[in-house]
Amino acid sequence: MKTSLFFALTIALAACVSKPMSETQTDGTADFNGSFEKWVNGLPANRSVYTPNTIEDALFQIKADTLNTTNGQKTLLLDIEKCSPEGGRFSPGVFREIPVTEPGTYTITFSIANPATPCRLTAGGVMATDGSTRQNDIKTGPLRNESITATVHKGEHKLRIEFNALGAGNVWLDDFKIEGPNGWTN
């Protein structure tokens, strides 16, 4: 009896003190928000974001920049002093899972400026417990357009797109677009 009570209290305490893995702010009028025009409570709308509240041992800010845009009036700026090079939930970034109706190849295009910061875009099909995502390392450089393909296989019902900065510096992201089979677009 004492052992099971101790176990239950330990689980309850761990649930209370653990950090969320990401933060999400939604706006029903923002749709995909690929150009990061809509922001809610300091975060880009309709994206899950790895923030200073969710990542330990990282120093960075997430900002809506209005000076270095490629489409619209705002762009996402990650201003990083220190972070893990691991990626995923351990590094600053954003992700989104988009429902798709059919398997196939999806092309993801976006604008990026990352003068000194290595970055990664991971994309591919996912289902409830598994998926076929592929990591794409993005070289440092001035403002430019990038294009990456991702495959959604039969049985995978969502396209997951995750972007991470893997080191210190500034990263500007803008104008995310997705094209899929049979003319599908975000």
Supply the CATH number for residue 105's domain. 2.60.120.260
Asked if the structure places residue 118 within a domain, the reply is yes
3-state secondary structure at position 4: helix
Instruction: Give burial (CB, 10 Å; 0-12/13-18/19+) of 20.
Output: exposed
Whether 166 is in a domain gets the answer yes
- 172, with CB counted inside 10 A (0-12, 13-18, 19+), is buried
The reply to whether 35 falls in a domain is: yes
In a domain, 8, yes or no: no
Chain segment 11-56, per-residue pLDDT in tens: 444 444 577 899 999 999 988 889 999 999 999 999 999 999 999 9
Domain-located, residue 13: no
- Assess contact for 110 and 149: CB atoms under 8 A: no
Please state the three-class secondary structure of 85-136 as a single string.
Answer: CCCHHHCCEEEEEEECCCCEEEEEEEEEEECCCCEEEEEEEECCCCECCEEE
Give residues with Cβ within 8 angstroms of 147, minimum separation 6. 107, 108, 109
User: pLDDT tens, 51-106?
Assistant: 999 999 999 999 999 998 899 999 999 999 999 999 999 999 999 999 998 999 99
Q: How many domains in the chain?
A: 1
pTM score > 0.85 for this model? yes
- Give me the domain span that covers residue 52: 22-183
Residue 143 resides in a domain? yes
> 1 lies in a domain?
no
Q: Is residue 10 part of a domain?
A: no
